[in-house]
Amino acid sequence: MCFFVQTNHTRKELLFLMFKEINLRNHSSLHKLFYSL
C-alpha cells in the first residue's frame, strides 16, 4: 500500500511538472504573439 501511495504521489508530481512546463510554454508563446502584433 505504501509503495502504491509513493508511486501515485510521484505521478501527481510528474503531472504537475508537465502542467507547469506547458503553462510556461504557452505563456512564452502568448508573449511572442503579443510582441509580434
**What pLDDT is recorded for position 14?**
81
pTM here? Answer: 0.49
CB neighbours (10 Å) of residue 14? Answer: 10
Q: Is the dihedral of CA 30, 35, 36, 37 positive or negative?
A: positive
**What pLDDT is recorded for position 2?**
58
**What pLDDT is recorded for position 28?**
81
First-to-last C-alpha distance (Å) of the chain: 54
9 or 2, which is more confident?
A: 9
**What pLDDT is recorded for position 3?**
57
Each residue of 3-35: pLDDT tens digit?
555 666 688 888 888 888 888 887 788 778 777
Cα 22 → chain centroid: 5
Q: What is the DSSP string of 1-37?
A: -HHHHHHHHHHHHHHHHHHHHHHHHHHHHHHHHHHH-
